[in-house]
Structure 1
């Protein structure tokens, strides 16, 4: 993947070692070098189901050797100003919070298999231009040397926001730009809202550009900066005008510009000679929060190509999270739980839920809507009307954040118990007349979990908000086992009936 996005020099095998002090060497799994950057990658993988990793010693060892390895690499490449980044790559492992904290402490980037798949897919669509997304992730916030960041611009006000309108060479915008693709690889940057770039559309746009075509409508971007954006007001000005003409200083840093609308138009220039000689119109907002970006994206696309329902659901999980209306916040929790069940490596439903624009398969066949409907019909949230809780739920008594923190682990533990008890049935999905890990089955079990919790709460005084999820599921399992035993002995004709049953 690194070679395909433009890293020109890579080690040929894992026998590469680097002397990082006077007496000691370090074996390097992957060393990737291009004209601007060096990546040092440590790889860990296991076969089978995703497993909880314990990488304390490995991460601390990398952290302890970083300084020595960095100095050694500077000597190996003495005539360059390479940016150096250490990457910890894993497959089939999910990290503990202490390991995540260690990686952050030592400034080591984590790539899991979802990140790799994302960049592989992006490379297939963009070719070498995928490197802009990769570098934006790896070196976010770091300075881009020798970049021309000054553009003539008009400053104005619209809808309560200050904005800048200008024209810029695509090459310069590609360097600082980043697209928040709605994909598991970008989960840390939530909320994300863009659909993955379509190769066919990108090719058509590039061909249009190469035929001297152009797009008169502006890209919409958000500039993120910790510092005040410099705008040198020119003279003279039209004194009666709200708008001002001047020179805008764009941040000279990776991932400082987020593309809200127009990713295909921008990346259509990425592999074209016109990226240096054309300029494209841009409307830029400053430091919009992600929720505002999501709302703007949805407004722009409302009257254009329809945003798919599944993508709308994933966007609403973010858009409604901090809503002043309790009813909307509860909806956001339901959508977020559905998404997390499909995206978290420690979830038994990992990669079984269709998230954003991920493609459906015979095992990835459960929709976010199905899980939300199951949660809607449960008693977990009580009765909510707009901004008030009319009746407390088994997990919701007021604080939606605490409800989410308790309900998500419970859902994972409950489905994990089901998976461990019926492993063959769990793996069927939509194939071989599967009845559990399909939409009807998942919704049914969510409602069954809720009914058992209600019984335990009423008759056994077990409050799921006050004890850990393992304890709750241990109590729940006694009643769930009766259903599990039925499914172990289910007859073919009963299987068919179950697949046809709804409601």
Structure 2
């Protein structure tokens, strides 16, 4: 009874041949009659079910957004499952619309949500004040579930979202003056990049892509990526204490407007020093690896590190220097890079700075820049540089590659020597009774067919990680425990300590599929050495001969 006779002003009309109503309601009213036909219900009467399950985290985020004063200026889209009562007051013949009062359905689950489930249910946990806020709704009447699903697909697939590039560009206007440090930094960064792109004759003039204009090899920079670089560098400030405190950066002024001008002057001058070292490579954009998203982010990190290095060394504050004076200090440490660039060609750039795209690419580029400066300023060692350098050591890499290869040989040799000893050397013995896994046997057989002239035994085609399945079989584990039971560093007491095989299998991919950015970490060298020494001790295999 509490749902009966709830009437609201509405417009009635037709859209796509279907009856619809446009009106304003409240979450309190709609939540009582709404329903989400999500796919996991598997209800034949609701087929085709098209909605995803409501996401709890997203609901929480939306609730917080509403509590902070947010609202949604877009329509909720629903379908009334039965015919609605509508009292017409007047009609507009020119657009075939009627104006009047709509009586909301008086049954639970009578308004099926087609689009906006999270927006509506984000109100569910809020107080009375929020439950009585206005929500705009477009409601169809007695749509078939298939038509509902088609509408859902149209909205979520055919309708394109606003590109991130445009949203990041707009942030400079929409968030300017924000009290939130992260938004403040984002707004200054967005506006700064727009200004740098419009500075006639300066290094970044016309190099940043604009919405709706196709990028080229030279116009290949994007605001989202460069904004990310500015944030990580801290040049125009850092957000501290869970976005409650703003820490100014070395390019900051007393106000955001002054920060914009100061950063503009310093960055134009800084990138001009880089461009002038080799204009041909700079102008090549993507092809030169000098004026790209990755490289410029790397140079921003470098600029920030050099300023910090100079401040610590001289007990000075960079913010007290005029832009030109700051550039003179920076140029001293930039000289080794500019000297290298002056002699570089496209081949040399490719050899040193060709980096696989990814979240760690700018940092890798930055460390490669540090490599050029460190020989002249040996105490210039930014955070993470020494660890990265150690991971690049050719000697260590060669040793790790060798150890991984020998680990694979040890495992294969021990596994099949043992199986042959226990089950017999015939294929019907060690292979069918010892291995016994049809998937492993089939895979090995297929690989042997791909190399018909090699004449190798089937065990030579077993993948490293497949040995783990053979070893941990209930019947086989007692045979192999003494060799392969290797606990993780600091761990004890597990029934089967074979986690190391999974880790070694992952590390095997580094030498097997090498790329510029796929390298061992410092911890990887230690781990490989640990496993290698354990296996050597347990198995007594000498690679100058055979099992001792």
TM-score higher than 0.5: no
The structure with the greater share of residues assigned to strand is 1
Q: Which has the higher contact order (CA 8 A, sep 6+)?
A: 1
The structure with the greater share of residues assigned to helix is 2
Instruction: Compute the TM-score of the two structures, normalised by the length of structure 1.
Output: 0.37
Instruction: Compute the TM-score of the two structures, normalised by the length of structure 2.
Output: 0.35
Query: Which structure: larger Rg?
Result: 2
